Structure 1
């Protein structure tokens, strides 16, 4: 490779990285934190001794990610922008890797188109601003694939050590990356080499990372109760074929399907080369395993877990459409971007996260209206994404100086992400203090408050939640 070519490719990769980062981060600070992100913060805030104890007891699957975030928030704080930035950074890394692989395997134009598809996929635009491990795990898988392509051109065992390290890190970052390892092994294998060399390569991509992931898997087995809610997840054609990559943006799935149909109709074909076969395994195997296990009575599937397959879909689409004429390629790129716009906008609204409520708005309202010594009472029941009490975990500073009259003990002691609660302790509320009540529809606690001499002084809808200021009748 000439030096000039290397410089050009380096600049192109830098442009891809920067563009993907800026596009993904745009508006990332607008949506309120939700249940899953609050759980990330609850774990990441813990002192390390308590952190490791909690991980071993409850949440090993997110342990490495939470450990990274523990250090991150110590330095950069807990704003929405800060906490979500690592995921956006991971998308940028993943996009750069997708570009590198697409250019190497299929050509420059397919590589560019693959990046556009990857960044525009609703699943990626969502996970890029989600304080969870999915984007990081996916990026590490792409890095591992890039390292495989690089190691195949080098001599010695050192490059394969790097492959094994990246693949292992990807699984520890998100456990279901384990099901992508066979695809990496296919990429690493070369039938023209001696069998010993082939064994070393496949071991670096599959066997060694699998063995090193064994402690994580063993820790997860007794913790499977934390995903018991997956038994309530629908497993149907939409949730299996559309939602993993496109969420609710079904129109984008239709648009991509039409583009592929046009490409096939025009005679564009993809040769079943080693990279293409590996990408098909990457795309299909994780979903096949998770869906099969769920249908067999072991619920482990939810659409966002298949974020790990997004790079494979993007590269396959790029390889199929990349052979088109420049005008057709530009038109396809524009169409993909246009189709992505509605979801990008919708995913950057204050109530965009699952549950459709704005915990930040409710917390900020109380912080600006409550007086020191006032009490709080937040509903803890209902679906995870709609529980008002999650606001305390997501925005603890907003409730500083207020009495949490239902609190009994911290979530650290319960071994869950929920505090231990008791019936509201109204006797602990001074006579001149108000109780700020946050519920989903205003009905929770109403009878108890009335029975203890409280009446609503004001009731407002804030961020999709009902925020009421309750005051003693004799203090009105």
Structure 2
């Protein structure tokens, strides 16, 4: 039997050394490189992610995710279906891993790492290994992604689900079978339910899935898997969003101009990055590099341009739906197109391009990891920590609730509720759960419920709010300090000051 095996099968089977070399090649080409991209991206994205304070949008995520499931379902159906799936994921996440800045932002960083790995895979598959590496690098350091990677919102997850769908579509073009089509449908539908405007990327994926050499029935099945079926599955979400359109009425005040449409979606305020990239592309074109309009390239162009075009047209037509961060989902297309343009150049040119891309991204990366990096440039954590460190049980607080969402001090209650444990909220009437919004119902402060020796801690943006009301009820300012971009004041009744001394109880502290 051994003789028969060696004589008949050995000539057709590779030798052991050959099999070992093939295995080694398989690990290097198909295993270690994606693993390295994933690990490096996760480390880079998560680095200092815990430093920025929570802001309005992240506080809204926490408010929704903390709700018990019955109240959660009711709130989503009434108010915020567009973020329902993401909030459901975070509901389970924070119950297991807690609600610290690191924990709450980790799923977004993980999504960016998975997305970068998918971008690398697609770039290598379509344009070569160097193009895949450069595309993954561009995706990771793109200012929009460095921001969304440390943002407790759904945009990074939706973007990654679209990348996963694209990877599955590319695989399905080469292998037949219902399992891949089901997987494509599931990834595309999940992306739309994670963030509804991902729906506008699906035509680009359908274009990628199409193959003119196949029979018409097969082409229809492929298009249905990536476009028609996910679109049908998204109908309940779209209908609910239409009913909840008042939730995004604030978008009517958003500027729709060339900068907010062409620069801000991918680069934010880092205007120097697209300038550097444009020079890099000009050098590549001058050197004779061209991008052939292959099916992947055409699909990527549609992915890059179609969502923004639809949102801008709808907004200009009187239905405000555009804000730059909604186009986070277009980042993979930009990264892959950039990689395809430069990736076929000589190795030292590709290395120089990688270095330039990284250098241009450093200022924004650093700025996005500062305590006041989030919109509004306020450090709610510092302000709440100050109050928690100096207030006594039984003291009261007043937090300003007006103004732009990113600068409202009252958001701190949702972001850092533990800081106000044991303190009295003298403006509170009813919870945001009862109002069906993300804002509590407030009333005029009830000073009569405060003990005579209790202080009132006031946080405002400029120190003027509540001052007149406090003075009318016999309170005088005992201390004031600027903390995290907010004015935090300690107010005490004048008769209490006379009884206990005019000095403030505030202890000197070192503010970072």
What is the Cα deviation at residue 321 of structure 1? 0.5
Q: Which residue of 1 aligns with 2:131?
A: 110
Q: Which residue of 2 aligns with 1:97?
A: 118
Q: Which residue of 2 aligns with 1:312?
A: 333
Corresponding residue to 1:321 among 325, 329, 342? 342
SS of the equivalent of 1:441 reads coil
2:279 aligned with 1:258: yes
Q: Which residue of 2 aligns with 1:222?
A: 243
Q: Which residue of 2 aligns with 1:380?
A: 401
What is the Cα deviation at residue 10 of structure 1? 1.1
Corresponding residue to 1:287 among 304, 308, 312? 308
> Residues 6-45 of structure 1 correspond to what in structure 2 (within 5 A)?
6-8=26-28, 9-45=30-66
Instruction: String of CA shifts for 1:95-126, please: whole Å, max 9, x gaps.
Output: 00000000000000000000110001000000
SS of the equivalent of 1:142 reads helix
Corresponding residue to 2:216 among 190, 195, 203? 195
d(CA) in 1 for partners of 2:128, 2:347: 13
SS of the equivalent of 1:408 reads strand
Q: Which residue of 1 aligns with 2:177?
A: 156
Q: Which residue of 2 aligns with 1:415?
A: 436
What is the Cα deviation at residue 4 of structure 1? 3.6
Q: Which residue of 2 aligns with 1:355?
A: 376
Instruction: String of CA shifts for 1:109-152, please: whole Å, max 9, x gaps.
Output: 00000011000100000000000000000000000000111112
Ranges of 4+ aligned residues in structure 1 off by more than 3 Å: 1-5
Give TM-score, length-normalised by structure 1: 0.99
What is the Cα deviation at residue 403 of structure 1? 0.2
d(CA) in 1 for partners of 2:408, 2:466: 14
d(CA) in 2 for partners of 1:112, 1:156: 30
2:68 aligned with 1:55: no
d(CA) in 2 for partners of 1:257, 1:160: 38
What is the Cα deviation at residue 6 of structure 1? 2.8
When the two chains are superposed, the root-mean-square deviation of aligned CA atoms in Å is 0.8
Q: Which residue of 2 aligns with 1:122?
A: 143
Corresponding residue to 1:5 among 22, 25, 30? 25
SS of the equivalent of 2:244 reads helix
SS of the equivalent of 1:28 reads coil
Q: Which residue of 1 aligns with 2:454?
A: 433
Q: Which residue of 2 aligns with 1:166?
A: 187
2:481 aligned with 1:460: yes
What is the Cα deviation at residue 5 of structure 1? 3.5
Give TM-score, length-normalised by structure 2: 0.92
**Consecutive unaligned residues in structure 2, runs of 5 or more:** 1-18, 498-512
Instruction: String of CA shifts for 1:331-359, please: whole Å, max 9, x gaps.
Output: 11000000000000000000000000000
What is the Cα deviation at residue 240 of structure 1? 0.4
d(CA) in 1 for partners of 2:216, 2:360: 47
d(CA) in 2 for partners of 1:342, 1:45: 35
2:320 aligned with 1:299: yes
d(CA) in 2 for partners of 1:226, 1:27: 32
What is the Cα deviation at residue 155 of structure 1? 1.9
